[in-house]
Amino acid sequence: MSALTKILRKPLASALAAILVGFAVASVVLAAAGYSPIDSFAALLQGSFGKPKYIVNVLIKATPILLTGVGVSFAFQTGLFNIGAEGQYIFGTILSTIVGYLFNFPPIIQIPLVLGAGILGGVALGAFIGFLKARFGIHEVITSIMTNWIMLYLCNFVVQTDLFHKPNSGTTYPINPSGFTMILPNWKKSEAGMAALDNVPWLKEIMLRTDINFGFLIAVIVAIVAGILLSRTKLGYELRAVGHNRDAARFAGINVDRGLVTCMAISGGICGLAGALNITGISPHAIATLAAMEGYGFNGLSVAFIAGCSCVGCIPSSILFASLIYGGMTIQQTVGAPSNIINIMIGTIVFFTALPGITNAIADWLDKRNRSEKDLLHTKDGTALPSTEKEA
């Protein structure tokens, strides 16, 4: 087996190949529409990473889809397809908003309380889906899709209640400032903070013109912990065993039903945390009436597929995804090309990452060709070649 075929068989090769194909397809579409692919991709890169402010905004946008991607990946590695990440995200925003508005403790208590409420919402919803799977054999895809819509309408109901509805708006009241996870929200607006930031223009732009918060750091930690939990712990081994072969896991003495509920509860809790961090870290720190799904859970599906359903792999995958979404707006503003080009690119990337067998098939073809060439070198007119001729 050559070094090239070994590389092609790695999951990373499939993801990189899909990304390259996505850019190639976008290039063809751009060229056919009369736009320069080079100028368009330069604008995309500039709009995503051209300024510190842009980088921070990309990381902010990457935070919820990183967490929902990790939640989907966690479930997928244990044999479950959590397509209900969107609903678990929404439920996380609902409960964190309610708790953050009703209570006003010091930040050291308030922040864990608000985040915990969001996590608890995701855990409850995920565990419910897992219970239906374990107890009644109802497929998690069906129940999770239904819970997505239930949570959407529950969100709209909460927004319209007299207790939480903010007059003359389509949102609830924001949570109390003690629950914010933004970085130095009060200091940066004070006279001392403004004076200090005046000496560092790029930092001032980040602090005052973005909702910079601790969300992405927390999301990265969660992704790493989830990966370690799956690969290095007894619980992770049991959950993966349940996903790979439930009959064998049951024969080995593993409680399969409990494993299903536990897996979906953890996956849902991670998605619920994504919703809570958006409430605590991003203005307006409230939930709003939803006309459609927000898309964080479904984008998390794409992030998980691009990462090969690796929890840690979701970190670079989410940054790529967020940069395409955020920087895609610059293509229309700078080059004039429609921003829907980005959706075509993302769709192509996800499509090809869902076909990991392509790179394996190429590797098989290369191996077969190499073997054929070696056979030809070892035979000549039906007789073996001399050793010196073989070496030549």
Each residue of 234-244: pLDDT tens digit? 999 999 988 87
CB distance 299 to 271 below 8 Å: no
**349 located within any domain:** no
Closest CA to 259 of 276, 240, 281, 233: 240
Bridge partners, residue 165, by sequence: 172
Each residue of 60-99: pLDDT tens digit? 999 999 999 999 999 999 889 999 999 999 999 999 999 9
SS3 of residue 383 by DSSP: strand
Average pLDDT over residues 194-203: 89
Bridge partners, residue 195, by sequence: none
pLDDT of residue 275: 97
Number of structural domains in the chain: 1
Give the Cα separation of 30 and 23 in Å (integer): 10
**354 located within any domain:** no
Average pLDDT over residues 18-34: 86
Buried b or exposed e, range 321-336, using 16+ CB within 10 angstroms:
bbbbbbbbebbbeebe
User: Using 50, 70 and 90 to split pLDDT, how confident is the model at 375?
Assistant: low
Least confident span in 72-76, 101-105, 251-255, 368-372: 368-372
pLDDT of residue 270: 97
Closest CA to 243 of 80, 71, 72, 69: 80
User: Using 50, 70 and 90 to split pLDDT, how confident is the model at 3?
Assistant: low
Give the Cα separation of 237 and 231 in Å (integer): 7
**221 located within any domain:** yes
Hey, what amino acid is at 345?
A: M
Closest CA to 277 of 108, 96, 53, 58: 96
Q: Give the range of the structural domain holding residue 112, as residue numbers without chain letter.
A: 36-336
**362 located within any domain:** no
pTM across the whole model = 0.89
Q: Is the pLDDT of residue 6 over 70?
A: no
Strands annotated E in the chain: 379-380, 383-384
Percent of the chain whose predicted confidence (pLDDT) is above 90: 57
**203 located within any domain:** yes
User: Using 50, 70 and 90 to split pLDDT, how confident is the model at 288?
Assistant: very high
Q: What angle, rounded to 10 degrees, do the helices at 85-102 and 296-306 form?
A: 130
Each residue of 260-279: pLDDT tens digit? 999 999 999 999 999 999 99
What tokens does 88 get? 């678990």
Q: Is the pLDDT of residue 15 over 50?
A: yes
Give the Cα separation of 91 and 179 in Å (integer): 18
pLDDT of residue 119: 98
Q: What angle, rounded to 10 degrees, do the helices at 314-334 and 37-49 form?
A: 120
Hey, what amino acid is at 64?
A: P
Average pLDDT, the chain: 87
pLDDT of residue 220: 97
**279 located within any domain:** yes
pLDDT of residue 388: 46
Say how many C-beta atoms besides its own lie within 10 A of residue 304's C-beta.
31
CB distance 308 to 11 below 8 Å: yes
CB distance 352 to 21 below 8 Å: yes
SS3 of residue 153 by DSSP: helix
**278 located within any domain:** yes
**42 located within any domain:** yes
CB distance 265 to 127 below 8 Å: yes
- The CATH number that applies at residue 309 is 1.10.3470
Specify the higher pLDDT residue, 333 or 112.
Answer: 112
Strands 383-384 and 379-380: antiparallel
Taking the alpha carbons of 131, 136, 141, 144 in that order, is the dihedral positive or negative? negative
Say how many C-beta atoms besides its own lie within 10 A of residue 234's C-beta.
7
Each residue of 321-371: pLDDT tens digit? 999 888 888 887 888 878 788 888 888 887 777 665 666 666 666 667 776
R_g over Cα of the chain: 25
Q: Is the pLDDT of residue 385 over 60?
A: no
The enclosing H or E element of 350 equals helix 340-353
